[in-house]
Chains A and B, each alone.
Chain A
């Protein structure tokens, strides 16, 4: 029964007006969740967690660097799943969502690279090192930018989206490379410090801001994705009846 409702709900989201309403309803809640989690996360990061015995206060940079890095990769996986669905079932709303993941993912990759570089200067003595983790992360940024460029290069956006979806799936190979780069190669970047299964080498007292900020960036990714998808849908469907109806009626919010 529940499964059937989920299935029906999922199929309904394929309809542009329903998807539009869904984005409109859900996005403010995700933004609110993001704001709450960020406030709690920042409070922990600056007022509760002590400085690290070696890194001192620079450890606080990691409370945004690590969640941003995780989200940059998770965002790519989400984009790849959406791209796969879009290519197989040709669902336009999924196609739009896949394409709108790219600028948000690129933003998180940029945060990760910039904050990592700033952290690296006092801790490693260098802003940048061509090590496997850093380089593969930079490649991720270029892949995101490539997807955005490819999508924008086509006048027919659906054709552009289909081509870009193929690039998304090709670029997926970079995700395990980023993840395992610290194991496969000798890198300046430290190895895994946080494990879901097994003991983390990071002290538990430092976990709360990381957890809160991780939830915050995930909610932000969702909210920004819905906002951008809603806009893109409106732009693509500008000549469609449902948009005109909304404009003539109560007005599109």
Chain B
């Protein structure tokens, strides 16, 4: 299934770098968005007085 290549380490490491960078391009906005949403919800809860302080 996996093709046998000459200079395999060079080829696979290139595709590995490509995969890592692409994965980061997908994940970074998702992770940032999750953090941002948590912040926004907390800010909104603070403003409306519904904030449930985890460390009272």
A and B form one complex: yes
Determine the chain B residues whose CB is within 8 A of the CB of A51 once the complex forms.
5-6
Tell me the minimal C-beta distance from A36 to chain B in angstroms.
Answer: 14
Contact between chains at A64 and B18 (CB < 8 Å): yes
Secondary structure at chain B's binding surface: helix, strand, loop or mixed?
helix
Question: Is A121 an interface position by the 8 A CB rule?
Answer: yes
Instruction: Name the one of A68, A104, A121, A234 contacting B40, with C-beta atoms under 8 angstroms.
Output: A234
Question: Is A111 an interface position by the 8 A CB rule?
Answer: yes
Contact between chains at B8 and A57 (CB < 8 Å): yes
CA distance A184 to B6 in the complex (A): 34
Nearest opposing residue in chain B for A114, CB measure: B17
Interface string of B15-53 (1 = CB under 8 A from A): 101100110111011101100110111011000000000
Tell me the minimal C-beta distance from A245 to chain B in angstroms.
Answer: 11
Nearest opposing residue in chain A for B48, CB measure: A248
Known contacts A220-B25, A231-B33, A243-B40: does B14 contact A64 (CB below 8 Å)? yes
Contact between chains at B26 and A111 (CB < 8 Å): no
Question: Is A6 an interface position by the 8 A CB rule?
Answer: no
Determine the chain A residues whose CB is within 8 A of the CB of B39 once the complex forms.
238
Q: How many A-B residue pairs have CB under 8 A?
A: 81
Count the A residues whose beta carbon is within 8 Å of the partner chain — how many?
A: 36
Contact between chains at A119 and B10 (CB < 8 Å): yes
Question: Is A133 an interface position by the 8 A CB rule?
Answer: no
Interface string of A42-58 (1 = CB under 8 A from B): 00001100010000111
Nearest opposing residue in chain A for B3, CB measure: A46
Determine the chain B residues whose CB is within 8 A of the CB of A230 once the complex forms.
29, 33
Interface of B toward A, CB cutoff 8 Å:
3, 5-8, 10-11, 13-15, 17-18, 21-22, 24-26, 28-30, 32-33, 36-37, 39-41, 43-44
**What are 17 A-B residue pairs whose CB atoms fall within 8 Å in the complex?**
A31-B26, A58-B10, A61-B11, A61-B15, A64-B15, A68-B18, A111-B18, A114-B17, A118-B17, A119-B10, A121-B10, A220-B25, A228-B28, A235-B36, A243-B40, A247-B44, A252-B40
